[in-house]
Structure 1
Amino acid sequence: MNMQDLVAEFSSWVWGFPLLILLIGGGLILFIYSGLVPFRYLGHAVNILRGKYDKHNSPGDLSHYEALSSAIAATVGMGNISGVAIAIATGGPGAIFWMWVSAFVGMATKFFTCSLSIMYRGKDEDGNVKGGPMYVITEGLGKKWKPLALFFASAGLIGTLPAFQANQLTQTLIDVFEVNESNIQTSKLLLGITIGIITALVIFGGIKRIGKIAGKLVPVMVAIYLITVLSILILKIENIPSMFSLIFTDAFSGNAVMGGTLGALIITGVKRAAFSNEAGLGTAPMMHGTAKTNEPIREGLVAMLGPAIDTLLVCTLTALAILASGIWKGFKGNGISLTLTAFDSVLPYGIGSIILTICVLIFAFSTLFTYSFYGYSCLCFLTNTKIGKYYNYIYIAAIVIAANVKLDFVINLIDSGYALMAIPTVLSTLILAPKVKRAANDYFTRLKAEKSS
């Protein structure tokens, strides 16, 4: 058995029923346990995001807005364009419904995980504030749980590799410019090197540069993409009711999935949603853990907006655009090729390819910039900051390699890393959830008192 088959088999095994129960079941427990209180303060979350409660002398590196922008820059990426297409191609329209379910419980999961990332922050040897599940485990559960933290950080080195983004960005440019078959491998190598150089110019500037660039890129990329997709939906407005009907009816049939089982359909939706919004995987807490705040609940509320923007908004619009085109039925090709073909089939004069290429460039690079921080944080925890500083060199090399490998291998590798990251993240969150609940009750009580005074 070769490496590709081994990784594919492991990915299929690890994403079995137990992990599905852990992610969805754990998220549902947190959703119910929260008493839906955080959901009632979405307006307050927006005010926090606007900077109303920012205090620049608080510990941390990023403002609330920069922390969310950086986290969204990582999640609103190729998973929203290519990942949704893969979900439809492999699971049918019904997979989108299970992505929605995963997003709703994911909002609660992110509220708890990112509140904990502020509540239990650690420090590196230089005294810099650090956050993430590895610190939540060691600071919140105690040193005896450190093996679980080491397990998370080790899995994080795999799950946060830039493989999917580099691979699909390269494939987009190959498709758009219709590169000749005989020149594909050379073109992929050159594109991989170019992408690596551009990424290096940003990530070697550290987390503050990443945060500032993400803060500027995210609003632009989301706006351009939404306008484009809404244009497609307006042109195909008569198909929208039937598309929603198809999503809901197919969600409980599993007919479109290989093997036709409902369980396979649910797993497809949950896997792609996890890849898209990363709720429960532990990546976002690493970014939100760097926010300038002493109030854990504030950062939890801000983080909760991530899955809503990412999956409920952007992924849904991508799915509707693909379904509206009608070309998804029996389409042969990889994820990004399906999305490109769908856009071009509706928008005239090749406009779809041009705009989608621009969006892919912004989405992919914003994700590439941010993911480097996640891998760096994991390596620093496993070793020290001196060794961790070399991570960016590994990261750039991974971009060049990923641009030249098969998509199936990339998907299975990253899915495997994500699955392993989810186990310590969700387990530690469930154990420490009462701490967040008490902190939330205290925070919202103080908030009401401030408003009434």
Structure 2
Amino acid sequence: MQQLDQLLADFSSLAWGIPLLVLLIGGGLYLLICSKFLPFRFFGHAIQVLRGKYDDPNDPGEISHFKALTTALSSTIGMGNIAGVALAISVGGPGAMFWMWISAIVGMSTKFFTSTLAIMYRGKDSKGQLQGGPMYFIREGLGKNWTFLAILFSIFGMLGALPVVNVNQLKQAINDIILIPNGVEVSLMTDLIIAAVLVVFTSIVILGGLKRISTIASKMVPSMVILYFVLVLIILGINYTEVPKYFVMIFTDAFEANFIDGDAAFGGVLGALVLLGIKRGAFSNEAGIGTAPMAHGAAKTDEPVREGLVAMLGPVIDTLIVCTLTALAILVTGVWQTTSDNGVSLTASAFKDAMPGIGQYLLMICVFIFSISSLFSYAYYGTKCMSFLIGADRKHYYNYLYIASIILAATTSFSAMINFIDGVFALMAIPTMIATILLAPKVTKELKQYIIRLKSNHDEF
């Protein structure tokens, strides 16, 4: 097990080198400049699109803008926001959150471009059904000569969609919050029982397809975000005197790196902190990774720019809002310095500290819903990748691999699972970002035409 842990740690650090950082952050900045800072100028219009102002039931696609966003968010608002932030702070201190913010702001433009492309270059699967996602916009937008990139994305996408971190952290939460405090001895058997329950739960939903996934996600995601939001605001209210101090510390420590516990990168501890923040930011909002465009590519619209604008809201909700709330809850309660907990257990400690007796159980409800909704979305992403590789009639084989990974994740260490997903996400980002940067001029041209159409209809934006 130790050898596997070390192997996956080496894989993750190799994948997250300077080239990937340049591609994700440098590429995102290039897209931000290309779009003339569109994410900030069109924010109000994006909200109007999300609210359904421009919906047309006759448009091509499977699901509404709102359902596309909630399906994408059900995979990003999950363990990245609870366990990922906790991991970032326990390893890097308050400053890690600042670099997560930077990755989210840059990620807004990346999400806009990748999801606009997902509609612009929808392709047909082997059954003739319209599909969207990086593998299709690579093939349709760049041409047949680039199919190898689309194949690489699909192979890595099948691995990246495995729910190993979600399941691992859900198991850890059940163990730490429910079983251990009630005197239940945690063992391989209890882990397997948790895995078995999750397998049954997941199988029922994922075999129902995208319509069922998006319907459930559109009901679960808004309610769980509101519940989590309220709980964290209560924690911040109880510790209100500490909030300004730690909010300022997020900025100061971002450049001082006083609390980082790890190896230097890019020549120093500050480099290690930047890398940690951006890596955790990518895990939280998945901008540039390529999963969200698969959900947004199924939206009912014939206006690619509109879907890009809706997708752009994702990093704002999951990283700038939800992750910041989690970070402040962990910081103001002081548990990041007083316990050796990591991942979801550290967040649970913050809830328990602020609301003794009930805090951790309320978090457990959020964790359960976050994890379950993520399980559904990722299954959809993985089957889309397999469908591209071996045909739509055989994509259901992915569900067997998916279910097997639930059992593996429930019986493996958190460090092994997070390193595996970090490494695979890095490999998914390479084809996604290369294709997006190459196709960026087509998106800016489409954006100009969209603005002309809006003005001719006298619409506000």
TM-score (norm 2): 0.96
How much does 1:177 deviate? 1.6
Letter in 2 for 1:212: T
Letter in 2 for 1:234: G
Q: Quick one: distance in 2 between partners of 1:205 and 1:286?
A: 17
How much does 1:448 deviate? 1.5
Matches within 5 A, 1:269-280: 269-280=277-288
Letter in 2 for 1:385: A
Question: Which residue matches 1:91?
Answer: 92
Q: Quick one: distance in 1 between partners of 2:24 and 2:458?
A: 36
* Alignment deviations for residues 205-242 of structure 1 (CA, whole Å, 9 cap, x no partner): 00010011111011100000000000111111111110
How much does 1:254 deviate? 2.1
Retained in 1: the 8 A contact 2:127–2:393? no
* Alignment deviations for residues 158-208 of structure 1 (CA, whole Å, 9 cap, x no partner): 111100000000110111123357442211110011011111111100001
* Alignment deviations for residues 4-38 of structure 1 (CA, whole Å, 9 cap, x no partner): 32221011111011111111111111111110134
Retained in 2: the 8 A contact 1:174–1:184? no
Q: Quick one: distance in 1 between partners of 2:178 and 2:309?
A: 42
3-state SS of paired residue (1:2): helix
Q: Quick one: distance in 2 between partners of 1:415 and 1:37?
A: 29
Question: Which residue matches 1:203?
Answer: 206
Of 334, 337, 351, the match for 2:345: 337
Note if 1:297 corresponds to 2:305: yes
* Alignment deviations for residues 124-179 of structure 1 (CA, whole Å, 9 cap, x no partner): 12221111111111000000001111111111111111000000001101111233
* Alignment deviations for residues 381-423 of structure 1 (CA, whole Å, 9 cap, x no partner): 1111122112112211211221110111100100111000000
Q: Quick one: distance in 1 between partners of 2:263 and 2:117?
A: 40
Question: Which residue matches 1:77?
Answer: 78
Matches within 5 A, 1:338-353: 338-348=346-356, 350-353=357-360
Q: Quick one: distance in 2 between partners of 1:259 and 1:267?
A: 11
Q: Which runs of 4+ in 1 moved over 4 A?
A: none
Question: Which residue matches 1:441?
Answer: 448
How much does 1:259 deviate? 3.8
Q: Quick one: distance in 1 between partners of 2:439 and 2:56?
A: 27
Question: Which residue matches 2:58?
Answer: 57
Note if 1:320 corresponds to 2:328: yes
Q: Quick one: distance in 2 between partners of 1:372 and 1:183?
A: 28
Question: Which residue matches 1:375?
Answer: 382
Q: Quick one: distance in 1 between partners of 2:186 and 2:254?
A: 41
3-state SS of paired residue (1:56): coil
3-state SS of paired residue (1:423): helix
Question: Which residue matches 2:135?
Answer: 134
Q: Quick one: distance in 1 between partners of 2:414 and 2:281?
A: 18
Retained in 2: the 8 A contact 1:7–1:409? yes
How much does 1:359 deviate? 0.2
Q: Quick one: distance in 2 between partners of 1:182 and 1:245?
A: 42
Note if 1:284 corresponds to 2:289: no
Question: Which residue matches 2:402?
Answer: 395
Retained in 1: the 8 A contact 2:179–2:185? no
Letter in 2 for 1:434: P
* Alignment deviations for residues 298-333 of structure 1 (CA, whole Å, 9 cap, x no partner): 000000000000000000000000001011015312
* Alignment deviations for residues 25-71 of structure 1 (CA, whole Å, 9 cap, x no partner): 11111111110134212111111111111111211111101000100
Q: Quick one: distance in 1 between partners of 2:359 and 2:188?
A: 26
Matches within 5 A, 1:133-152: 133-152=134-153
Q: Quick one: distance in 1 between partners of 2:5 and 2:413?
A: 9
Question: Which residue matches 2:257?
Answer: 254
Retained in 2: the 8 A contact 1:175–1:337? yes
Letter in 1 for 2:311: A
Question: Which residue matches 2:226?
Answer: 223
Question: Could you say if the C-alpha distance between residues 183 and 347 of structure 1 is closer, same or farther in structure 2, counting changes exceeding 3 Å?
Answer: closer
Q: Quick one: distance in 1 between partners of 2:86 and 2:275?
A: 15
3-state SS of paired residue (2:108): helix
3-state SS of paired residue (2:257): coil
Question: Could you say if the C-alpha distance between residues 373 and 24 of structure 1 is closer, same or farther in structure 2, counting changes exceeding 3 Å?
Answer: same
Pairs aligned (count)? 452
3-state SS of paired residue (1:252): helix
Question: Which residue matches 1:428?
Answer: 435
Note if 1:418 corresponds to 2:421: no
Retained in 1: the 8 A contact 2:161–2:382? yes
Question: Which residue matches 1:162?
Answer: 163
Matches within 5 A, 1:361-372: 361-372=368-379
How much does 1:351 deviate? 1.6
Gaps of 5+ in 2: none
Q: Quick one: distance in 2 between partners of 1:182 and 1:439?
A: 59
Indicate the larger mover: 4-13 or 309-318: 4-13
Gaps of 5+ in 1: none
Question: Which residue matches 2:457?
Answer: 450
Indicate the larger mover: 249-258 or 438-447: 249-258
Q: Quick one: distance in 2 between partners of 1:119 and 1:25?
A: 24
Letter in 2 for 1:398: S
| RMSD across aligned positions (CA) | 1.4
Letter in 2 for 1:332: S
Note if 1:101 corresponds to 2:102: yes
Q: Quick one: distance in 2 between partners of 1:334 and 1:231?
A: 22
Retained in 2: the 8 A contact 1:158–1:413? no
Question: Could you say if the C-alpha distance between residues 9 and 452 of structure 1 is closer, same or farther in structure 2, counting changes exceeding 3 Å?
Answer: closer
Question: Which residue matches 2:314?
Answer: 306
3-state SS of paired residue (1:329): helix
Question: Which residue matches 2:17?
Answer: 16
Question: Which residue matches 1:113?
Answer: 114
Of 351, 361, 364, the match for 1:354: 361
* Alignment deviations for residues 98-128 of structure 1 (CA, whole Å, 9 cap, x no partner): 0000000000000000000000011112221
3-state SS of paired residue (2:288): coil
Question: Could you say if the C-alpha distance between residues 330 and 183 of structure 1 is closer, same or farther in structure 2, counting changes exceeding 3 Å?
Answer: closer
